[in-house]
Amino acid sequence: MDIAKEVLNGSRLALSRAITAVENEHDDAVDIMKKLYPHTGRAFVLGITGPPGAGKSTLTDKLAKEFRNRGKTVGIVAVDPTSPFSGGAILGDRIRMNELTLDEGVFIRSMGTRGSLGGLSRKTAEAVKIMDAFGKDVIFIETVGVGQSEVDIVSAADTTLVVLVPGLGDDIQAIKAGILEIGDVFAINKADREGADKLNIELNMMLDLDGNMNKQWRPPIKQTIAHQNEGVIELLETLEEHYEQLKSTGQLTTRRTERTKNELLNILKNEIGNYVLGKITESGQFDKLVKDVEGRMDDPYSVVNNIIKDMLK
């Protein structure tokens, strides 16, 4: 079966298989991506991040439903970089338990870390591209937490929504400082909780300090109560406004060029690394080198230098 062709023909099964191929680095993954690539670049890609417990999943579901009401098809990639051993199953299960899954116009996929983190943001970006080629109008990238891994992951998005929640402790406040710079739109979810106004004021202050006053787009802050569907329509319209603004100012092109550049560099680094690793491990001399380094007869940097000299033109 030609998976890429089936994806383009609208097969949900093929869509699922293509993502699995990418996730598990199957032999045909690169071939699938090559064939799908020309059909990408049409979807609105929306990143959603924020601390655990902020209600990101619920908010994603409500936004997805509202996009569906407006006739758009939706893809959701739910990424859990904190789940190295479960493959993201926890997060996936939580999401699967709702009415969205009964809607043919919605495709949900969870991804966890297998092996190294570095690969996860690349694989997420590829899953998004597969959904994009499939024809999804809006694609969500939802992350579980708010660390550097999440920052890397949502960098594949056009518009990034940062979801915060009143009443989290100091640790979370410290983390927030790191995500201010990536938020295009902020939502204060569970806005009926005590502390919502205080958070709103603090966040506004931080955004002003952040030098946003001179930018074309000053990230708006929206209040939502996702589980009661409150504020969701307003939030969705703000997200679309941001996307429109990206398009009209030419920033969408700039952002996407930057992204293409980074993706190319990441793929290059990964492929060349794998290629060279393959060569030296199959040559059998690698174990000897490890022993030398371990016995302190050689150091890793000199060993690596020699390998590079040997292999490159």
- Residues 34-93 touching a second copy, rule: CB under 8 A, are 34, 37-38, 40-41, 52-53, 81-86, 90
> Judged by CB, which is closer to a second copy: 8, or 233?
8
By residue count, the chain amounts to 313
Among 75, 147, 183, 231, binds a second copy (CB under 8 A): 147
The correct pick among 26, 68, 172, 212 for binding a second copy (CB under 8 A) is 172
CA dihedral 99, 112, 153, 176 (to 10 degrees): 80
- Maximal CA-CA distance, the chain: 67
Window of 12-20, 69-77, 200-208, 265-273 that interacts with a second copy by CB under 8 A: 265-273
Would you call 202 exposed, middle or buried from its count of C-beta atoms within 10 A (0-12, 13-18, 19+)? middle
Residue 105 C-beta: closest distance to a second copy, Å: 26
Answer yes or no whether residue 290 interacts with a second copy by CB under 8 A. Answer: yes
Total residues interacting with a second copy, rule: CB under 8 A: 72
Q: How far apart are CA 100 and CA 62, in angstroms?
A: 9
Q: Which stretch binds a second copy (CB under 8 A): 16-24, 165-173, 217-225, 238-246?
A: 165-173
Given the structure tokens 């919502």, which residue do they identify? 196
**Closest CB to a second copy among residues 70, 279:** 279
**Does residue 289 touch a second copy according to CB under 8 A?**
yes
CB contact at 8 A, 14 and 1: yes
Least distance from a second copy to the Cβ atom of residue 67, Å: 25
Write the interaction track for a second copy spanning residues 213-252; mark x where CB under 8 A is met and - where it is not. Answer: ----------------------------------------
User: Which of 1, 99, 116, 284: binder of a second copy (CB under 8 A)?
Assistant: 116
The three-class DSSP label of residue 279 is helix
For position 305 contacting a second copy by CB under 8 A, the verdict is yes
Q: Is 269 in the site for a second copy (CB under 8 A)?
A: yes
Among 198, 218, 227, 261, binds a second copy (CB under 8 A): 261
Alpha-carbon gap, residue 278 to 280, rounded angstroms = 6
The region of 1-9, 61-69, 115-123, 223-231 touching a second copy under the rule CB under 8 A is 115-123
Which contiguous run of DSSP H or E holds residue 235?
helix 232-248
For residues 188 and 223, the answer to whether their CB atoms sit within 8 Å is yes
Q: Could you give the C-alpha distances from 226 to 47, 63, 145, 235, in angstroms and in order? A: 17, 9, 18, 10
In angstroms, give the least distance from the CB of 271 to a second copy.
5
Task: Please report, to the nearest 10 degrees, the dihedral formed by the alpha carbons of residues 217, 223, 227, 233 taken in order.
Answer: -50
Q: Classify 81 as helix, strand or coil.
A: coil
> Does 97 help bind a second copy (rule: CB under 8 A)?
no
